[in-house]
A = this chain, B = another copy of it.
Amino acid sequence: MDIIDAIRQRRSVRVYTKDMPKDSDIEKVLEAARWAPSGLNNQPWRFLVLKGGKKDNLAQFTKYGKIIQNAPVAIAVFMDTADSYNRDKDLMAMGAAIQNLLLEAHSIGLAACWLGEILNKKDEVCKSLGQEPDLELTAVVVLGYSDEDITQAGRKALKSLILK
């Protein structure tokens, strides 16, 4: 699949079939994330793959809990602040890694959704998942096979994004 096609066609999917993605496919999306660029190549991203009960426990920390419960896999994406170099740049690197993950998922036929509202309770999530306080939750990405009709959020016109 061409880059621009994946970039254009990828969308947030919130309803999934019951089918479980293969472990080798989950590894593929993490492998894509791993190759993102980061400031000083510090690679602050860490991933916790959750299925079943542990995944469902996340639901209580966000008003979008049903999406997490419905999806077969949730990946909690953490930033290792012990490996931090500059918070702004590290967060941009996290975004680059998550985008790699989403693009690769789309290209191998998986659907995904990048969830952010849960960050309002990031400390509680970290503790509940038994992770060290150095690990800051930056996103949860749910993963599976789409069971919803294709929709597309619009974008601002390119012209309106170009400064003079």
- Residues of B within 8 Å of A107, CB to CB, are 2-4
Which chain A residues in 1-50 approach chain B with CB under 8 Å? Answer: 1-4, 6-8, 10, 12, 27-28, 30-32, 34-37, 39, 41, 43, 45-49
Q: State whether the Cβ of A116 lies closer than 8 Å to any Cβ in chain B.
A: yes
- Which bracket fits the contact residues of A? 35 or more
Oligomer copy total: 2
- Residues of B within 8 Å of A32, CB to CB, are 3-4, 7
Q: State whether the Cβ of A60 lies closer than 8 Å to any Cβ in chain B.
A: no
Shortest beta-carbon distance, A99 to chain B, in Å?
4
Q: Are B104 and A89 in contact (CB under 8 A)?
A: no
Interface 0/1 of A85-116, CB less than 8 Å to B: 01011011111111110111011000000101
- Residues of B within 8 Å of A39, CB to CB, are 116
A127 to B39, CA, bound (A): 24
